Amino acid sequence: MPELPEVETVVRLIRPRLVGRSITAASVAWKRSIGSQSVASFARAVVGERFESVERRAKYIVMSLGGRGALVGHLRMTGRMHVEAADWDPGKFARVRLDLDDGNAFHFIDVRKFARLEFVRDPAPRLADLGPEPLGPEFTADWLAQQLRGCRGALKPLLLDQSFLAGLGNIYVDEALFRARLHPLTNSRRVSAEQAAALRREIRAVLGEAIEREGSSFDTFYRTPEGNPGSFQHQFRVYGRTGEPCRDCGTPIARSVVGQRGTHTCPSCQPRPRRTRRAAR
């Protein structure tokens, strides 16, 4: 599933092609892509509207259509967004098409049919349960240390909880925990202020580097709106490197399951907490 860097890359690439453009026609090839709204109602809501902004909130893409509402997109596992010339062929997995007043068209493509592009009058309720942005000003070392002291359980599942911190996924949590030298099973209450500051720093660093490289493409599904793969996968320190030597100490990278998620660590750089050995399978 695309995580924060991949979604941010999509937003940055489609924003200049959409903002200021008006929708002249709408067609839907897979009704579930637009949620519970009927195709006719969806078309009536968006046709004639003008894209005023394209922003990211967590893993959501929010495209404001002026005062009438917004399109809220979630790429899920295989969703993609393209803005191309009107005669561009999006292939057989095209789900939604919006024709634009400059002769181009916005295409919502999804292989596995899990992604969504829904029109809402107000996106705020949809986003209300999300935690702060890890790249935002509210995500400070003091905030993180305080929140961790007030929570129970292992560190990794907490970081994956979108109501705690928005946008992080399996890849970047593993990478940030390695850089901060914290094991995923570390009890959140036992993270010191110094460790919280290091974790916050590494989360932001990993996300920033991944955005610069337009995300990670470790399978055939994620491509940028320009059709290119991201390249951050070449910088992975632990994720997906089971059995390969740690880039820092040479110890083979280990794989375990934490919170039902495949997890990658260096046993030497990230010692497992003794009292939580039974928490992993």
Close Cβ partners of 152 (under 8 Å, ≥ 6 residues apart): 187, 188, 189
Q: Which two tokens stand for residue 72?
A: 């809220």
Does 2 qualify as catalytic in the annotation?
yes
Catalytic residue among 247, 261, 267, 272: 261
Residue 22 CB-density burial (10 A; 0-12 exposed, 13-18 middle, 19+ buried) = middle
Q: What is the dihedral of CA 65, 66, 67, 72, to 10 degrees?
A: 30
Phi, psi of 64 (to 5 degrees): -75, 135
Q: How far is CA 73 from CA 87, 108, 116, 203, in A?
A: 24, 9, 5, 24
Judge whether 121 counts as a catalytic residue. no
Which of 2, 5, 132, 134 is catalytic? The answer is 2
Q: Which of 15, 59, 95, 116 is catalytic?
A: 59
C-alpha to C-alpha distance for 94 and 193, rounded to whole angstroms: 48
Residue owning tokens 């996924």: 169
Helix (H) or strand (E) holding 62: strand 60-64
Catalytic positions: 2-3, 59, 261
